[in-house]
A and B are shown apart, each in its own frame.
Chain A
Amino acid sequence: MHVIDMGHDVYKANDKVAEKNKKKLDKYQVFSVNVMGAIGSGKTTLIEEAIRQLKDKYKIAVIAGDVVAEMDSSRFRKLDVPTIPINTGKECHLDAKLVEKALDEIDLSNTDLLIIENVGNLICPVDFKLGEHLRVVIVSVTEGDDIILKHPMIFKTSDLAVINKVDIAHAVDVDAEKMRDDILSLKPNVPVILTSKHDWESLETWISFIELGVKEAQNR
């Protein structure tokens, strides 16, 4: 019997590909956003709003991760932006290798903003970096106000947290401010945005946050 030392770190192997993706995006001055959140949190709707408002100013591409269907990618295509669907099959998250492949299909020299919609899930995407510049977690009040402390790691590793559907918080008996406090207790100083698709001002805050990143990438 022989013992062979390997020391192969599975997550680090993913991180290495993610680093490569990021370098490629940097080369073309593309700002990339990884949007994570549960099914039904409103990821697709918030992304659609951002595309509508920004697509005349910037060239946008989307990678839409889905377990099987192509529902979300067809919603983005309707907005007339290049969209690459990634069907993960049984998998619950995107990984850096899948994104690496998708990047080959995008004309990066003609892209300012790349939005990656991750598979709907608050657990698995946490362990996999994709090469993104901004990690966003979207959570809706309908998921209940204990949802944050039940999924600490996604909030700890995100650069921006969005609490969505706050207009119906009262109806589902949830305190959006408590959700904000929970997020800040896990990650002090992380920007937290409260949004509702019926409140234009809140959407503007969300969109301007992304635009800020695009501008910074272009001045790099």
Chain B
Amino acid sequence: MHELSIACEIFEQVMSTAKEHGATEVKHVTLQMGRLSHTNPEQLSFCFNVLADESIAKDADLIVEMIPPSLECECGYKGAVDEKKIRENCEFESELLAYAAVMECPVCGKPAQLTGGRELIIKSIEIETENQD
């Protein structure tokens, strides 16, 4: 579980950006999370709220958008993993496992390079400022 250190990093970045823009309140924080990153959105929200208590972000909503994994293959394929195959593999106990099992190129079947799906991005924040314009 490394949600706390991630939440710290997010909190620090959000607060410094909010201050730069003269925020009086942070309303929303939008994150993009790769499906293969080892982070749990609920735990992350919980840690963030604990850290943000007594700050201008204390009521902020953490909105998490999930990013599906993407592949690059030596045959030239660039794009998503085979979602149909993932549904067929639903006997796997975790989504992570299902994805890991299908990291072959959907075109030629060779093991492909993972190019996306492990990121954790603070996409944007929504803030209130003193002088509304």
Contacts and interface: CB of A to CB of B under 8 A. Distances in A.
B6 interface: yes
Contacts of B114: 156
Contact of B27 (A1, A127, A186): A1
B21 A10 contact: no
Given A4-B21, A91-B2, A153 B100 contact: yes
B122 interface: yes
Contact of A6 (B5, B103, B125): B125
B97 A11 contact: no
Interface of B is mostly: mixed
Nearest to A11: B120
Contact of A2 (B2, B96, B123, B126): B126
B97 A152 contact: yes
A149 interface: yes
A134 interface: no
B81 to A, nearest CB: 13
Interface in A135-157: 149-150, 152-153, 156
Interface residues of B, number: 37
Contacts of A8: 13, 121-122
A71 interface: no
B118 interface: yes
B119 A9 contact: yes
Given A91-B5, A127-B37, A9 B126 contact: no
8 contacts: A2-B126, A4-B126, A5-B124, A6-B123, A92-B1, A93-B2, A124-B1, A127-B38
Give 3 nearest A-B pairs by CB, closest first.
A152-B100, A8-B122, A124-B2
Given A6-B122, A6-B125, A10-B9, 13 more contacts: A1-B126, A2-B21, A2-B23, A5-B124, A6-B123, A6-B124, A7-B122, A8-B13, A11-B37, A11-B119, A91-B4, A152-B97, A153-B100
